[in-house]
Amino acid sequence: MEKYYKYSEFLKEEFGEKVYKLPISLDLTCPNRDGKCGTGGCIFCSEEGGSHENLDNRLSIKDQLLENKEYIGSRYGAKKFIAYFQSFTNTYMPFFDFKKNIEEVMEVDDIVGISISTRPDSISSEILDYLESIKDKNLITIEYGLQSVNNFTLEKINRGHYLSDFINAVIETKKRGLRVCTHMILNLPWDNMTDVIEGAKILSILGIDEVKLHSLYIVEGTKMGQMYKNNEFSIISKDEYIKRVCYFLAYLKKDIAVQRILSRAPSEVTLFSNWDTSWWKIHDEIISKMDELSLEQGSLYNF
């Protein structure tokens, strides 16, 4: 029996077959990098803007999609795809440029959905209204990075926004009938189990459609990397992370699709990643722990 509702299962239900994401990288920045609401970016974020997939943003959007589509399609026999604007803040640009990017995606065959990674303080009514106007042609998902529901933690990691910004963005996005995915990091040093459970409850109450859980990895050359070297914080144990995931899922509504439950990052750029344990082993340990605790997604949700 599955312990949580996998995103892959949602896509199969929606489209009748497997669907794969095709990442897109643009030459962008974020408002907490360029001085609008801060400088330096999130303390855990590398120069790649959260992506380590070696994407070539010198290629056009169409060429990136065609190249990735050929590779994924031939490797997995895939026929349907979601264009994923992945790195940095993909709505942090003039509306004309954003619209042009979306229109370029729609020129590519076999694209059935568009996912847009952004920040809750970098969305506008103009963008949301436009996306609402094309939602019948593609499955549109806005992926909001939140990371934590604790405002103290958001300040520590230099997010440049607060929980209220996220709540407002979600409400406005859902008004237009668009899907929302939320990114959360469950082992930030300043969060505890109460924050984790509160996060699951808030996402459930807001009617989030998808969630992407990240295990914190620490990258060389980042502010957090330097803090880690200076022993300015400690990282919870693998067992504690596993327990946090179990309870997060248990307090999460059953119909919220889970894209992932931990992160992966190349070892050559990280100072810390997944307790030097393979991601699939941790995944299996999470499932075993949920069995041991008699938990499954939504089993403790009672709203």
Domains of the chain: which residue ranges?
7-292
Chosen CATH of 7-292 out of 3.30.930.10, 3.40.1710.10, 3.20.20.70, 3.30.460.80 = 3.20.20.70
CA atoms within 13 Å, Cβ hemisphere of 192: 1
Q: Where are the alpha helices (DSSP H) in 178-273?
A: 193-206, 223-229, 238-250
Q: What is the DSSP string of 258-284?
A: EEESS----GGGEEE-GGG--HHHHHH
Instruction: Return the pLDDT at 39.
Output: 81
Number of H helices, E strands in the chain: 10, 9
pTM above 0.85, yes or no: yes
pLDDT, residue 87, reads 84
Tens of pLDDT, residue by residue over 40-58, are 889 998 876 555 455 566 7
Helix or strand holding residue 287 (H, E) = helix 279-292
* Per-residue pLDDT tens listing for the chain (303 residues): 789 999 999 999 999 999 999 999 998 888 888 778 878 889 998 876 555 455 566 799 999 999 999 999 889 989 999 999 998 899 999 999 999 999 999 999 999 999 999 999 999 999 999 999 999 999 999 999 999 999 999 999 999 999 999 999 999 999 999 999 999 999 999 999 999 999 999 999 999 999 999 999 999 999 999 999 999 999 999 999 999 999 999 999 999 999 999 998 888 889 999 999 999 999 999 999 999 999 999 999 987
Q: Using an 8 Å Cβ cutoff, are 256 and 204 in contact?
A: yes
**Residue found under tokens 């962008």:** 28
